[in-house]
Amino acid sequence: MSRRRQIYEGKAKILYEGPEPGTIIQYFKDDATAFNNQKKGTISGKGVINNRISEHVFTRLSHIGIPTHFIRRLNMREQLVRQCEIVPIEVVVRNVAAGSICKRLGLEEGEPLPHTLIEYCYKDDDLGDPLIGEEHIACFNWASHEEMQDISSMAIRINDFMCGMFAAIDIRLIDFKLEFGRIFDGDFSRIILADEISPDGCRLWDINSGEKLDKDRFRRDLGGEEGAYQEVARRLGLLENEDSTPGEVFDLSSHRSRLRGKPPPAK
Ligand code: UDP
């Protein structure tokens, strides 16, 4: 395994050549970055949890007919995926105002948007992934009109499915980022969902407490990021948790204490 060829190292994942042509191995790291790489750190165990969460979400999306690059999980930190040509666009789906849109448009964080909004950013770290419109995508030929129709309709279906999936475990899906790729079959190509779906690229708030269960804990120095990622996995039924029952209200302070081996604070 150690002699396989590394293709690319990103901020949260390393890509290796897969065992068969047309396949790639995605290795999930614990590294975390924010604000276009200006803030760097690690979230212990994040790679293992994101690998599991992304496997779960991609598998469920394939069950509703969304074509994805996911083939199978190989081990704790790796999954086998189809090689594809990544479309250089980050697709951001928003249900509730948070993050960059609040600054850009002067919105209050937590304000529900009048309807679901899809935004596109040009994938370029040096430029800070600038917001673009469909006109830019067409002008620079980053994706065809037909590909954008597939991408936007898949993004809406994914959002509808994920809103329900998370609502069922008392999580509000605020926004998230998707990446798509193309796979070629002779002269034809088609769009598939690529990359990952995990608390690194989603905003997930507890429905009752409003507690953030995603990378904003790291971005905003809120602490408890390991516990928050674990909580999402636990509610999705992906983790055994001996001392809490499903549906129990998440208490980050007790969770943090438990992770550090201290008894939870008296209530
Ligand atoms: N996002 C991401 N990668 C990026 C930019 C955004 O995964 O490079 C996700 C982010 O986690 C959030 C959503 O896309 O769930 C919208 O992010 P936003 O534009 O508000 O940017 P941010 O506030 O994260 O800088």
Render pLDDT for 45-65 as a digit per residue (tens, 0 to 9).
999 999 999 999 999 999 999
Supply the pLDDT for residue 243: 52
Contacts of 73 (CB under 8 A, 6+ apart): 51, 52, 55, 79, 80
Burial class (CB in 10 A: 0-12, 13-18, 19+), 23: middle
CB 50 within 8 A of CB 62: no
Could you tell which of 92, 118, 179 is best to mutate to test the pocket of ligand 1, judged by most ligand atoms within 8 Å of the CB? 92
Strand partners for 81? 24, 70
Residues 74-90 have a mean pLDDT of 98
CB of residue 201 inside a 6 A radius of ligand 1: yes
Phi, psi of 110 (to 5 degrees): 100, -5
CB 263 within 8 A of CB 219: no
pTM: 0.91
Closest ligand 1 atom to Cα of 36: 8
Q: Which domains does the chain have, with CATH numbers?
A: 6-82 (3.30.200.20), 85-206 (3.30.470.20)
Which two three-digit tokens encode residue 181? 């790729």
| pLDDT digits 0-9 by tens, 88-142 | 999 999 999 999 999 999 999 999 999 999 999 999 999 999 999 999 999 999 9
Q: How confident is the model at residue 246 (pLDDT cuts 50, 70, 90)?
A: very low
